[in-house]
Amino acid sequence: MTLEEIRANQVADLNDEEKAFLAEHKAELTAEELTTYGLAEPEVPETPETPGEPETPEVPEPEFQRRLKRHSLRKSKQVH
């Protein structure tokens, strides 16, 4: 049995032996033939990249931190 003999037949007329032969020789088939004979690998869609870790907020500038701390201390003194 050869690929040429099988190619001469209609796909619906292929028997199990011929289908197995095609599967064994699929490297020798064109992309169109692979699709025709149902041997093409299904296209796997690319998985989107998973989002990375969320960005960490920027650390406030030292001057801002100092003012924030001073403000917090004033607030805590007012409460008492």
* Its pTM surpasses 0.75: no
Cβ-defined contacts of 60-66 (< 8 Å, 24+): none
Extract the runs of DSSP E, i.e. beta strands, from 1-80: none
pLDDT, residue 10, reads 87
- Band (pLDDT 50/70/90 cuts) for residue 80 is low
Residue 76, both tokens = 């805590």
Alpha carbon distances (Å) from 37 to 29, 33, 74, 78, 80: 10, 6, 81, 83, 85
Supply the pLDDT for residue 78: 66
